[in-house]
A and B are shown apart, each in its own frame.
Chain A
Amino acid sequence: MADFSIVGTRYGRIDGKDKATGRAKYIQDLKFPGMLYGKILRSPYPHARILNLDTSRVEGLMGVRAVATAGDTPNKKFGSYRSGVKDELIFAKDKALYVGDEIAAVAATDEETAREALSLIRVDYEELPAVFHPEEAIKPEAPRIHEDAEKNIASHALTLRGDPDKGFREADLVLEERFETGLQIHAYLEPVGCIASWDSNGKLTIYAPAQNPSWSRFIYSEALDLPMGKLRVIQTMIGGAFGGKLEQKQYLVAAILARKCRRPVKIVNRRDEEFQTSMPRVPMVVYLKMGVKKDGLLTAKEHRIYADNGAYTKYASAVLNLGTYRVDGLYRLRNIRNENYLVYTNKLPTSAFRGFGNPQITFAVESMLDQLAEGIGMDPLELRLRNAAEEGDLNAHGFKYVSCGLKDCLKKTAEAIDWQEKKKRKNIRRGIGISATSHVCGNRSFFPLFDGATAYARVDEGGKVRVLTGEVEVGQGLLTAYAAICAEEMGIPLSEVTVEAPDTDIAPFGLGTWGDRGTFIGGSGVKLAAADAKRQILEMAAEMLEANPSDLDCREGRVFVKGSPQKSLPFEEVASAAVYRRGGSPVFGKGTFIPASELSDSTRYGNISGTYAFGAQAAEVEVNPETGEVKVVRIAAAHDVGRALNLTTTEGQIEGATVQGMGYALSEEVRYEKGIMLSPNFLHYRIPTALDAPPMKTFLVETTDPGPFGAKGVAEPAMTPTAPAIANAIYDAVGVRIRTLPITPQKILEALQKKG
């Protein structure tokens, strides 16, 4: 193993002290002089024609500074980047399409006045028939949600590889099942909020916990009909995102209000608005067919998915079409037919959530694998190992696995859960299950203009290094990872490096934090920028020490001559000389990393990521057959992380994701009645508490990878295998297979009764 001083060890986060002392400022903590507070009037109906909208009683109300409706907006339809569908407006104009749809907004001197003003806006609605499930919505007789979307289909895609019919003919066992996954809410603890402010030259600045500051400008500029150069996004500290803090309509509403009253306007969601209008995980109905030979070789896979888009198209089309085919490379499938329907319903728009389609399809595939294994009398672990991807594989969709620790992950988790012994156990109630996953580290097909990241490393006259990127800390530890990469590369202590949150006027254009790209792509850019800055520092030191730059190196903050370390200078002294001798210019390192990925073709074939992450998890559960309750006794998780940059934060990503996966599997459920969410609060929507979280044992499987110091992503894939591992363990415990998420006690009891 290479000799690193920071990488691969344990250290605290660089923003830890601010967060531990309450000094960290989130959007809800910020205010500007003269700032007003905005509130949004939302549709109370899932589908209704807006007959009349009367704001006259609000105008002139004491403390109210602006009222905004569709008439104050460009009324230009826009859509999330790359959705290919432009189907939403800032305010619903003719029809409201879900409970929560934006109708109007008010800005006032305080929140209470704004709330009161909303109650004085009069809207006359004509209720329309509504539809809430994709399999209902796609029927010809279903009410049409968008005029131009026939059968409510927002997108349809078919992918064919090899010869699936032949594959099924060659199989000794073919199974077909229907799976369904639930609507999972991100439930980050910091509600979405923003402050929008216009300057006197018509430039808009949005301060917000934005996961993708640079590229969200595309959408805002389109929706506001504003040149991109007139739009600045400054990312504020993010209190959890998980895919839920990509573009927000709320920011646009604040911008419209702020323009109208020429004052900064702040809007922060109430928690019930978070539940009712955030962009949760796309629920999917998966019809899955798979074939296997007696010896365990998988011969073909076919899926048909009906995904719930909700009322507008955010990233659900990408989640469906880019997210659900990653699983196909996990087990060397060659014969594949994937058909995806994204269907509008009169519910909140769904979108990106950690795993990005992978948890949905992987739940189906990994549940099915256990059924196939049982059908051919093979151990489920053996079936997986028999088909598992390996380093060097080129999968059916064109993904090149430059490194792959999948088999090690499977073996490690199995060993940790005592697989061989416990599989022999036939005691009812306790059971074990296993599941694997594969994920991208960035996704070339998402942003065709480029796939990469640029970073700057700026060294000032005090010897402090400041890293600027367009990537985003969402809580995962990205700032700390970048600081570590920079410090390691430059040979200086971690304490000497700070990393800035992006400001689109200053930072490089960055794609932001999603797709597990932050460490692999963004981190590689940081490493190159640090190397460039170090080169300049060594050149300066060479002048000062009268040596050749190639004979110099820097370690622990000292630049020295290799071989004669007594000839050395403090880093700070070299940095200050560099600045003063160059007319005050800071040492400015720049690094651009472009991964060896390619744009996929029209059939979605292509190596879309520079590397791929793998992982496996095994769960042990105890099921109470009287109550149907499931207790997760423990979880073992092994993830191929390339190389862990920080052992503590890497484990933390896996543990946190696993518990989210457990919530997805067992407790997180949104109940609706006629399109109205019955559980828009934490009391009814149960995310795991400290008492629910199981003991977890994590294993970091290291592979040789092209990432920065060999690192690849882990945050997203770590939640994918949890639900299927639990579902498989439940089957092992009590012999019932639940194919819909979440696996509630009621479902288990019903299945047990049916089984008799």
Chain B
Amino acid sequence: MKVTIHLTVNGLAYQEEVEPRRTLLEFIREDLELTGTKEGCGLGECGTCTVLLDGKPIKSCITLAVQANGREVTTIEGIERPDGTLHPLQQAFIDHGAIQCGFCTPGMVLSAKALLDENPKPSELEIKQAIAGNLCRCTGYQKIVEAIRSAAEGS
């Protein structure tokens, strides 16, 4: 039996009917068609499905949609400014070569955003800890860490 949830996604209010076992990832990708959030493993191990729930990074593939009831979800589609300007982290990822295949990028950017929102001047170790749950197979992480550091310095 479906249940009704009320939540905010990227600043917009939604009232939706979902199966109790529907994951937040399925809800975001399939019901809302926000496909920027990726599914890399479905087991909470790779971090490509990272979204922010009330500002904290979570793995949406192991979170139920009903757990987001009454809360605020931010996906990669929700961090650009209304005028289309990129978030400083997005721009820094492009400028510093922190993106290769791009599949980990949305989750990586959101984990970094959660870090900088809470700790605007993180150390290198804090940056690495913040993204340790987001796997990247392409970059070797060096340029991702540089991008996050540069976005932090610019803020």
Please name all residues of chain A whose beta carbon is closer than 8 Å to the beta carbon of B103 when the two chains form the complex: 26, 188-190, 239-240, 475
Contact of A475 among B46, B101, B129, B131 (CB under 8 A): B101
Give the Cβ gap from B108 to chain A, nearest Cβ, in Å. 9
Tell me whether B60 is interfacial, beta carbon within 8 Å. Answer: no
Nearest residue (CB) in B for A22 is B36
5 sampled A-B residue pairs with Cβ under 8 A: A12-B97, A19-B102, A652-B138, A690-B144, A695-B142
Please name all residues of chain A whose beta carbon is closer than 8 Å to the beta carbon of B54 when the two chains form the complex: none
Q: Is the CB of B97 within 8 A of A23?
A: no
Report A427-483 residues with CB < 8 Å from chain B CB: 474-477
Q: Assuming the A-B contacts A16-B93, A22-B75, A691-B128, are A683 and B43 also in contact, with contact meaning beta carbons closer than 8 angstroms in the complex?
A: yes
Most A CB contacts (10 A, CB to CB) among B38, B101, B103, B138 go to: B101
Q: Is the CB of B143 within 8 A of A660?
A: no
Q: Is the CB of B97 within 8 A of A649?
A: yes
Tell me whether A711 is interfacial, beta carbon within 8 Å. Answer: no
Tell me whether A1 is interfacial, beta carbon within 8 Å. Answer: no
Please name all residues of chain B whose beta carbon is closer than 8 Å to the beta carbon of A657 when the two chains form the complex: 140
Tell me whether A238 is interfacial, beta carbon within 8 Å. Answer: yes
Please name all residues of chain B whose beta carbon is closer than 8 Å to the beta carbon of A656 when the two chains form the complex: 100, 137-140
Please name all residues of chain A whose beta carbon is closer than 8 Å to the beta carbon of B86 when the two chains form the complex: 17, 20-21
Tell me whether A601 is interfacial, beta carbon within 8 Å. Answer: no
Please name all residues of chain A whose beta carbon is closer than 8 Å to the beta carbon of B94 when the two chains form the complex: 12-13, 16-17, 20
Tell me whether B52 is interfacial, beta carbon within 8 Å. Answer: no
Tell me whether B48 is interfacial, beta carbon within 8 Å. Answer: yes
Tell me whether A671 is interfacial, beta carbon within 8 Å. Answer: no
Contact with A along B18-40 (1 / 0, CB 8 A): 00000000000100001111111
Please name all residues of chain A whose beta carbon is closer than 8 Å to the beta carbon of B43 when the two chains form the complex: 271, 681-683
Contact of B101 among A12, A20, A190 (CB under 8 A): A190
Q: Is the CB of A690 within 8 A of B131?
A: yes
Q: Is the CB of B102 within 8 A of A15?
A: yes
Q: Is the CB of A689 within 8 A of B135?
A: yes
In the bound complex, CA of A681 to CA of B138 (Å): 18
In the bound complex, CA of A271 to CA of B44 (Å): 11
Please name all residues of chain A whose beta carbon is closer than 8 Å to the beta carbon of B138 when the two chains form the complex: 240, 475-476, 652, 656
Q: Assuming the A-B contacts A16-B99, A475-B100, A649-B97, are A189 and B142 also in contact, with contact meaning beta carbons closer than 8 angstroms in the complex?
A: no
Please name all residues of chain A whose beta carbon is closer than 8 Å to the beta carbon of B95 when the two chains form the complex: 12
Beyond A17-B94, A26-B103, A659-B141, 6 additional pairs, beta carbon < 8 A: A26-B38, A29-B35, A189-B104, A190-B38, A239-B38, A689-B141
Q: Is the CB of A191 within 8 A of B93?
A: no
Q: Is the CB of B100 within 8 A of A237?
A: no
Count of interface residues, chain B, beta-carbon cutoff 8 Å? 53
Please name all residues of chain A whose beta carbon is closer than 8 Å to the beta carbon of B91 when the two chains form the complex: 20
Tell me whether A52 is interfacial, beta carbon within 8 Å. Answer: no
Please name all residues of chain A whose beta carbon is closer than 8 Å to the beta carbon of B40 when the two chains form the complex: 189-191, 271
Contact with B along A52-83 (1 / 0, CB 8 A): 00000000000000000000000000000000
Most A CB contacts (10 A, CB to CB) among B75, B104, B142 go to: B142
Nearest residue (CB) in A for B35 is A29
Give the Cβ gap from B52 to chain A, nearest Cβ, in Å. 13
A residues engaging B (CB < 8 A)?
10, 12-13, 15-26, 28-29, 186-191, 237-242, 270-271, 474-477, 648-649, 651-652, 655-660, 681-683, 687-691, 693, 695-696
Give the Cβ gap from B84 to chain A, nearest Cβ, in Å. 9
Contact of B38 among A20, A189, A477 (CB under 8 A): A189
Nearest residue (CB) in B for A24 is B102
Q: Is the CB of A693 within 8 A of B35?
A: no
Please name all residues of chain B whose beta carbon is closer than 8 Å to the beta carbon of A696 when the two chains form the complex: 140, 142
Please name all residues of chain A whose beta carbon is closer than 8 Å to the beta carbon of B128 when the two chains form the complex: 690-691, 693
In the bound complex, CA of A649 to CA of B98 (Å): 9
In the bound complex, CA of A19 to CA of B38 (Å): 11
Give the Cβ gap from A280 to chain B, nearest Cβ, in Å. 13
Contact with A along B85-97 (1 / 0, CB 8 A): 0100011011111
Tell me whether B109 is interfacial, beta carbon within 8 Å. Answer: yes
Q: Is the CB of A242 within 8 A of B93?
A: no
Contact of A28 among B39, B105, B136 (CB under 8 A): B39
Majority SS at the chain B contact face:
loop
Q: Is the CB of B42 within 8 A of A648?
A: no
Please name all residues of chain B whose beta carbon is closer than 8 Å to the beta carbon of A16 when the two chains form the complex: 93-94, 99
Contact of B36 among A21, A189, A689 (CB under 8 A): A21
Tell me whether B117 is interfacial, beta carbon within 8 Å. Answer: no
Nearest residue (CB) in B for A271 is B41
Most A CB contacts (10 A, CB to CB) among B35, B43, B90 go to: B35
Q: Is the CB of A689 within 8 A of B132?
A: yes
Give the Cβ gap from A346 to chain B, nearest Cβ, in Å. 26
Please name all residues of chain B whose beta carbon is closer than 8 Å to the beta carbon of A17 when the two chains form the complex: 86, 90, 94
Please name all residues of chain A whose beta carbon is closer than 8 Å to the beta carbon of B73 when the two chains form the complex: none
Please name all residues of chain A whose beta carbon is closer than 8 Å to the beta carbon of B45 when the two chains form the complex: 271, 681-683
Q: Assuming the A-B contacts A474-B101, A683-B45, are A22 and B106 also in contact, with contact meaning beta carbons closer than 8 angstroms in the complex?
A: yes
Q: Is the CB of A238 within 8 A of B101?
A: yes
Q: Is the CB of A475 within 8 A of B102?
A: yes
Please name all residues of chain B whose beta carbon is closer than 8 Å to the beta carbon of A21 when the two chains form the complex: 36, 76-77, 80, 86, 90
Please name all residues of chain A whose beta carbon is closer than 8 Å to the beta carbon of B135 when the two chains form the complex: 187, 189, 682, 687, 689
Tell me whether B9 is interfacial, beta carbon within 8 Å. Answer: no
Give the Cβ gap from A268 to chain B, nearest Cβ, in Å. 8
In the bound complex, CA of A25 to CA of B144 (Å): 21
In the bound complex, CA of A29 to CA of B39 (Å): 10
Nearest residue (CB) in B for A653 is B100
Q: Is the CB of A651 within 8 A of B136?
A: no
Give the Cβ gap from B78 to chain A, nearest Cβ, in Å. 9
Give the Cβ gap from B1 to chain A, nearest Cβ, in Å. 16
Tell me whether B65 is interfacial, beta carbon within 8 Å. Answer: no
Report B35-71 residues with CB < 8 Å from chain A CB: 35-43, 45-46, 48
Nearest residue (CB) in B for A652 is B97
Tell me whether B145 is interfacial, beta carbon within 8 Å. Answer: yes
Q: Is the CB of A189 within 8 A of B136?
A: yes
Q: Is the CB of A682 within 8 A of B46?
A: yes
Please name all residues of chain A whose beta carbon is closer than 8 Å to the beta carbon of B131 when the two chains form the complex: 690
Q: Is the CB of A658 within 8 A of B77?
A: no
Q: Is the CB of B35 within 8 A of A25?
A: yes
Contact of A22 among B35, B41, B97, B139 (CB under 8 A): B35
In the bound complex, CA of A64 to CA of B104 (Å): 33
Nearest residue (CB) in A for B92 is A20
Q: Is the CB of A239 within 8 A of B101?
A: yes
Please name all residues of chain B whose beta carbon is closer than 8 Å to the beta carbon of A695 when the two chains form the complex: 142
Contact of A655 among B42, B75, B127, B143 (CB under 8 A): B143
Give the Cβ gap from B101 to chain A, nearest Cβ, in Å. 3
Give the Cβ gap from B92 to chain A, nearest Cβ, in Å. 9
Give the Cβ gap from A713 to chain B, nearest Cβ, in Å. 16
In the bound complex, CA of A624 to CA of B145 (Å): 27
Q: Assuming the A-B contacts A189-B103, A474-B101, A655-B143, are A28 and B96 also in contact, with contact meaning beta carbons closer than 8 angstroms in the complex?
A: no
Nearest residue (CB) in A for B108 is A690
In the bound complex, CA of A358 to CA of B144 (Å): 28
In the bound complex, CA of A21 to CA of B109 (Å): 9
Report B115-141 residues with CB < 8 Å from chain A CB: 127-129, 131-141
In the bound complex, CA of A304 to CA of B34 (Å): 53
Q: Is the CB of A240 within 8 A of B99?
A: no
In the bound complex, CA of A477 to CA of B127 (Å): 25
Q: Is the CB of A237 within 8 A of B102?
A: yes
Give the Cβ gap from B147 to chain A, nearest Cβ, in Å. 10
